[in-house]
Every structure is written in C-alpha cells, then in structure tokens.
C-alpha cells in the first residue's frame, strides 16, 4: 500500500485513500464529505472482534473455513476469511514491513500475524458491510442464542492436539468454532466483554 489510507468505506468496505471525497470502490461519499443521515440500524454497535476461528464441515469435518467473529450488541456476524483475502493480507503485511526496513524475520513475523491484523479492519466497517463482504458470511441474532460454552481441547497420545473450541446453540442449530488462532483465556475474556457468557 503506497497511498495513505483513511479507514474503510462504510458502504462497501473498500480501503479509503486519504484526501479523497468519494470511495474509489463504490463512489459513496467519505467522512470528509457531508455525512448521510443515520440509518435506523445506527444503534447497533460492535462490541468486540475475534479473529482466528474455524468451522469444520464436510465428511469427518475435513473442510475448514476460517472466520472472524464480529460481535455487536444485537448479533454475531461471521466474516469468512477466504484464501484470496488471506493471501492479500500476507502480501500487504510483508510489503509494509519491507518498506519500513524490516528484514526477513520481521517480514515473516508480520506474515504470521496477517490474519489478526486483517481482522482489525472490521472495527471500521458497519456490521451490514461486514456481513455482505463475501457470500460465505452469515449472522446469528443474539436473541436466538440458547447456549454458549467454552471447551478445552485434548492432547492425544500421538502428539497431536485438538484445539480449544466454542459451541453455540442458536435457533436449534449448533455451531462448533475451533480456536485455531487464539487461547481459551482470550476467548473467554472477549465473550465476557460481549456479555455472552
């Protein structure tokens, strides 16, 4: 990223270039332009953003889909992290570190944290934009949550560990979220902050 950015477009989620009056992605006015009247859903507020979650599906749970969980005061938005999005985040992190004079190890470290850095962008988006970002995104209304529980993973004799996970039961559907990029203690802290446990 060579141009100075000014956050993300609340309409389409594209990066905004500092000084531009309109979004280059969708043409909506930026914050420097007169703001449109607030929408009826403006009372919805992001409470926390949790990166590093995976949902297993398919035969024997072999298909893994990465998500960032955007928790608001009214719903949980599951924002899918596609391989193309992750690749772009890694390339951006590597390029940014290199332009700042970082060597191989600093670039490698930036790559490792790219998914978490990428998740930070959801703080600048509206939940509706986050939900519409990819076709794989979905949401759960907080009022439909029947149960949420944290589970510690298991260490097996073969040396492989099962990750810690969260189960959510909402509107009769059960979701199992593997904590592939964080700790159980951190997840507990975030869910307490969100008022979910």
β-bridge pairing 138-141 and 15-17: unpaired
Tell me the whole-structure pTM to 2 decimals: 0.66
What is the residue whose two structure tokens read 């073969």?
Answer: 158
Going from N- to C-terminal start, the domains of the chain cover: 1-38, 46-193
Q: Domain 46-193 adopts which CATH fold?
A: PH-domain like (2.30.29)
Q: Rounded to whole angstroms, how far apart are CA atoms 177 and 191?
A: 13
Task: Note the pLDDT tens digit of each residue in 41-86.
Answer: 458 999 999 988 989 876 665 677 889 999 999 999 999 988 787 6
Task: Note the pLDDT tens digit of each residue in 136-164.
Answer: 999 999 999 999 999 998 765 565 567 89
Q: Rounded to whole angstroms, how far apart are CA atoms 154 and 114?
A: 27
* Direct distance between the N- and C-terminal alpha carbons of the chain, in angstroms, rounded to an integer: 39
């Amino acid at each position: 990223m060579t141009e100075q950015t000014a956050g993300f477009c609340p309409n389409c989620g594209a990066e905004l270039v500092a000084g531009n009056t309109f979004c280059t992605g969708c043409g909506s006015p930026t914050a420097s332009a007169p703001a449109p009247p607030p929408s009826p859903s403006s009372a919805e507020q992001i409470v926390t953003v949790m990166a590093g979650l995976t949902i297993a599906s398919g035969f024997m749970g072999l298909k893994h889909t990465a998500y960032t969980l955007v928790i608001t005061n009214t719903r949980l938005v599951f924002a899918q992290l596609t391989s193309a999005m992750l690749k772009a985040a890694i390339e951006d992190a590597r390029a940014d570190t290199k332009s700042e004079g970082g060597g191989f190890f600093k670039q490698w470290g930036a790559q490792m944290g790219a998914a978490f850095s990428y998740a930070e962008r959801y703080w600048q988006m509206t939940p509706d934009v986050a939900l519409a970002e990819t076709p794989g995104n979905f949401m759960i209304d907080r009022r439909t949550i029947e149960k949420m529980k944290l589970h510690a993973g298991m260490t097996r004799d073969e040396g492989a560990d099962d990750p810690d996970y969260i189960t959510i039961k909402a509107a009769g559907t059960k979701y199992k979220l593997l904590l592939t990029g964080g700790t159980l203690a951190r997840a507990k802290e975030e869910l307490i902050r969100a008022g979910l446990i």
